[in-house]
Chain A
Amino acid sequence: MHGFANPARFLRLARWMTPLLLVAGLLLAGGALVYGLFFAPADRLMGDTVRILYIHVPAAWLGMGGWTTIAVASLVELVWRHPLATIAARAAAVPGAVFTAICLATGSIWGRPTWGTWWVWDGRLTSMLVLLFLYFAYLALANAAQKDGVGAAGTGGSRVTAIFGLVGAINVPIINRSVVWWNSLHQPASITMGKSAIDPAFLWPLLIAALGFSLLFGGVVLARMRAILADFQAEARLRRRAMRSEALGQVTT
């Protein structure tokens, strides 16, 4: 584990992993979406509306997966003080928020023809909206910590962000269990441990789309981590240069 926490080694790995994940993700997700939209069969009750499944479900999984990433990285940051964990947590927030927003938007569009309403305040929908707000709060907090100049790993502002990332993870199991604990308009999970109530004709494109979107998510996180690291390096270099010219100035005057 310590081996991967070395930024130089991480950058060497990320340099070729990033394009690989992005291209593979685009191909898989794009292929599965095209198949799902044009070739997969229609559902017995919902008809063609079922095709929104191939984007709604992967987006929901990745919205929750994004916060799980934040929580695990925050734990590593708080306990082991690995600087890369801080960067990984920051990098997962925006893609996670985007997938959560996609999940809410597609779910709303799907709800109108099937349930007869755009939105209801049932347990599943409400907890998913709370997840989106948690992402916004996390981004604001991370941003504020960085602006104060204490965003670097292991400092106070960064630690507050990490604690928030860990505490917010409470919502993820609540989203998952919401359809079991409370009566809700949203149906219970179709795919549970080893069992699926989704016909294989829908299931396979769904799983491939989910894999593709996951690779895409990983590629975006790696790309953002590289960008944040490059930012740190540029900042450090500027600071060194400023200090050097200051020192030179003191010598000449």
Chain B
Amino acid sequence: MKPKHQRLVLVVLALAVLIGAVLLAIWGLRGQASYFYVPSDIASDPPETGRAVRLGGMVQEGSIQTLPDGVTVAFVVGDGKATVPVRYTGITPDLFVEGSGVVADGRLDADGTFVADSLLAKHDENYMPRELEDMSKEQAKAVVAETTAQ
């Protein structure tokens, strides 16, 4: 075997071992490295009342209500399998709308409501111009064709 090939085999072996080690580490971290729990995690393994947790999920359609004090919002966060009612007092981010993602820091209170101290909006991977949002695909295409110079 030429020295060049020996070095190649050595580097490939070392990299294989390293990748294996990293995969093991990531496997070990899979539960802890997540930034938040989803509602089904909370449903299957409820945290103790008053313990600080972070909850993430989608704001259910039609669930946002402003309470009579004017600064508290109540809404429901779901992940398709379970839902958690949430209450938050404060200013909500711009992207906080029904059907979008949200991440809340807070704790569960005795009646199962999640009381959030802070609220972050999560953006999804879709980017769409404002004007085209309410149109169907065909309509939007027609608008694009009309307004584009030939």
Contact = CB atoms under 8 A, between A and B. Distances in A.
B22 to A, nearest CB: 5
Interface string A102-121: 00000000000111110011
B84 interface: no
A181 B36 CA distance: 12
A123 B122 contact: no
B77 to A, nearest CB: 13
Interface stretch (A59-67, A187-195, A238-246): A187-195
Interface in A64-117: 75, 78-81, 113-117
B104 to A, nearest CB: 11
Interface stretch (B26-34, B45-53, B62-70, B107-115): B26-34
Contacts of A170: 18-19, 22
A175 to B, nearest CB: 13
Given A114-B121, A183-B56, A184-B35, A198 B127 contact: yes
Contacts of A122: 35
A48 B56 CA distance: 26
A44 interface: yes
B15 A166 contact: yes
B121 A166 contact: no
In this complex, the interface size class of chain B, counting residues with CB under 8 Å from chain A, is 35 or more
A164 interface: no
Given A41-B129, A47-B94, A183-B35, 9 more contacts: A44-B132, A44-B133, A79-B4, A115-B122, A122-B35, A185-B56, A190-B125, A199-B128, A202-B127
A167 B21 CA distance: 12
Main secondary structure of the interface of B (DSSP, over half): mixed
Contacts of A116: 93, 118-121
B11 A78 contact: yes
A50 interface: yes
In this complex, the interface size class of chain A, counting residues with CB under 8 Å from chain B, is 35 or more
Contact of B126 (A47, A166, A197): A197
A192 to B, nearest CB: 9
A201 interface: yes
Contacts of A197: 124-127
Given A46-B95, A183-B38, A80 B4 contact: yes
Contacts of B97: 45
**Which 4 residue pairs are nearest across A and B when measured between Cβ atoms?**
A116-B93, A41-B129, A122-B35, A183-B34
A166 B127 contact: no
Contacts of B81: none
B129 A43 contact: yes
Contact of B125 (A115, A183, A189): A189
Nearest to B7: A79
A50 B11 CA distance: 43
A38 interface: no
B120 A185 contact: yes
Contact of A185 (B7, B103, B128): B103
